[in-house]
Amino acid sequence: MELKGKKILLGVTGGIAAYKSAELLRLLQKQGAEVRVVMTPAATRFVTPLTFASLSKCPVYTQDGAPEARPYQHIDFPRWADLYLVVPCTANTLGKMANGLADDPVSLCFMSCAGEKWIAPAMNTVMFLSPAVQANLKRIREFPKVHVLESPSGMLACGEEGPGRCAEPASIVETLLSAPENDKPILGSSKSVLITAGRTEEAIDPVRYISNRSSGKTALALALAFKNAGFAVTVVSGPMEAPRVSGIEWISVKSALEMHHEVLSRASQFDVLVHAAAVADYRPKTVSDQKIKDSRSHLTLELEPNPNILRDSVAKKHPGQIIVGFALETADAERHAKEKWQKSGADLLVLNTPVAKDSGFGFDQVSYSLISKEEPVSPPQMGSKESLAQKVVSFVLTSLGGHSCQ
């Protein structure tokens, strides 16, 4: 979306990551946005309202900020805004927003905001993974016009390491810039997308298999981005660590042959196909029906190729259908990806190079670039998997002739 001229309301809650909101405010201003700030009482103990008032050049809406002078701030602030960001969003505020509670400026503005809302959860890993927080995240993702920024893994302020970090300000801005505008002409009411996700497992015997390290995080980001854009989303998924969220149809498979069957038998029903799964190129030619005994001698496996799901779906492509493929490359990536795009016939190919430190499999960021008729081959750049998903959705919406289907 275009941030220049945008009116953005920034909600700040009481977590150590509140200091990041000051940097986010400045980055939004550099993009030409006008920013106002609203704070919970706890947030004012981490960063003073004076800091945000000085940076935004506007009064900050706080719990004890003379509400009698402007009794309708909880309505006026969100009504002024084009979009509402809550960064960071603590477990407490998330629980309020997900369950219709509003007793502080940030949750009141969330309740009163009729526009687009983006939240960045930030908390300790144990809290983030707790059943209550995961249930609230699942619930709030189902709200219309609400987008949840993924909480990357890493070192937390408490010294522990794991998921729950607040998304970095630069990553948040990148995601917003990549997001489609929701106020543009709509596509129509019945656009649908089928996404492949996760990895495949190719059996050797009843207990062993050939597979890879795909976590399914990129496919989940794609599914949520398409869902937020108004698409009916179906995911054909092999095993993966990423959670399965509600509001999306999930079809489970294990092997490449099973995924090939499910995709090709359904492909004609969809407007868009996105091949994001890490499908095994080969499978054992024979599968033992008993566990192969460990004899400490050499074991030779004869492999045969699996069908190419992307090429086979392109071969059956119907007029107007958009097909997106993925290419994972680790050497001479741009040349190999361009060759794959040309051979596949896909409308868009995402080049994915998951070899940089702290990126790729299981991480929240990845090195990638897009290849299409409109996108010349360019060196991969590091970005969040959410921003990748938003760029894919933007390409699809433009190709279909609109910008939203809500």
Compute CA distances 203 → 114, 119, 157, 209, whole Å.
Answer: 50, 41, 43, 4
Exposure class string for 139-174: b at 16+ Cβ within 10 A, else e: ebbeeeebbbbbbbbeebeeeeeebbbbbbbebbbb
Enumerate residues 6+ apart whose C-beta is below 8 A from 54.
none
Q: Which among 341, 339, 354, 204 is positioned nearest to 278, based on CA atoms?
A: 354
**Sign of the dihedral through C-alpha 372, 377, 378, 382:** positive
Around Cβ 357, how many Cβ atoms within 10 Å?
Answer: 6
Q: Residue 88, preceding bond cis, omega within 30 degrees?
A: yes
Q: What is the DSSP letter of 199?
A: B
Q: Of the residues 89, 113, 158, 405, which is catalytic?
A: 158
3-state secondary structure of 147: strand
Task: Give yes or no: 158 in active site.
Answer: yes
The C-alpha atoms of residue 333 and residue 351 are separated, in whole angstroms, by: 8
Beta-bridged to residue 326, according to DSSP, are 350
Please identify every residue annotated as catalytic. Answer: 158
